[in-house]
C-alpha cells in the first residue's frame, strides 16, 4: 500500500485512517487477499500512527536505509492480515 494526501490542510483529520479502512476491507472482502503490507520511514510519526490505528502491525525493520542530511533512519515494514479484521472491525 502507498498513500499520499497532497494538501496538508487535510492531514490529521482521520482521512488516512478512513481510506485505509476502506482499502483493507476491499482487499480482504472483494479481492480475497490474506495479507496487505506497506513500508514507512521511521521519521514519519503521523503515518505510523495512522497505519497502527488502521490495524497494521510492524513485522520488520530495515535499519538505517534512509539517509537525510547525514541522519540515518530505519524503514519499517508493516502488515495487516485478514484475521486482524473481522466484519470490517480491527481485531487487536
Ligand atoms: C500519512 C497520511 C496518509 C496520514 O493520513 P492522515 O489523514 O493525515 O492521518 P490520520 O488523521 O488518519 O491519522 C494520523 C494520526 O497521527 C497522529 N499524529 C500526527 N502527528 C503525529 C506525530 N508527530 N507523532 C505521533 N502521532 C502523530 C494524529 O494525531 C492522528 O492520530 P489520532 O487519530 O489518534 O489523533 C497523510 O498525513 C499524508 O498523506 N502525508 C504525506 C504523505 C506521506 O507521508 N505518506 C505516507 C508515506 S509512507
Q: pLDDT by residue for the chain (92 residues), tens digit each?
A: 999 999 999 999 999 999 999 999 999 999 999 999 999 999 999 999 999 999 999 999 999 999 999 999 999 999 999 999 987 788 87
Q: Does ligand 1 lie within 6 Å of residue 37's CB atom?
A: no
Give 76 Cα–ligand 1 centroid separation in angstroms: 15
Provide the pLDDT for residue 63. Answer: 98
Q: Does ligand 1 lie within 6 Å of residue 1's CB atom?
A: no
Provide the pLDDT for residue 33. Answer: 97
Which ligand 1 atom is nearest residue 49's CA?
A: 16
Provide the pLDDT for residue 90. Answer: 87
First to last CA, the chain: 20
Contact 85, 28 (CB under 8 A): yes
Q: Which protein residue has the closest C-alpha to ligand 1 atom 12?
A: 14
pTM listed for this prediction? 0.96
Amino acid at each position: 500500500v502507498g498513500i499520499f494526501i497532497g494538501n496538508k490542510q487535510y492531514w490529521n483529520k482521520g482521512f488516512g485512517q478512513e481510506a485505509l479502512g476502506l482499502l483493507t476491507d476491499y482487499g480482504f472482502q472483494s479481492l480475497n487477499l490474506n495479507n496487505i503490507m506497506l513500508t514507512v520511514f521511521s521519521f514519519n510519526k503521523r503515518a505510523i500512527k495512522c497505519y497502527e490505528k488502521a490495524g497494521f502491525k510492524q513485522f520488520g525493520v530495515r535499519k538505517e536505509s534512509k539517509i537525510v542530511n547525514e541522519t540515518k533512519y530505519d524503514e519499517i515494514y508493516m502488515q495487516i492480515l485478514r484475521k486482524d479484521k473481522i466484519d470490517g472491525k480491527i481485531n487487536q
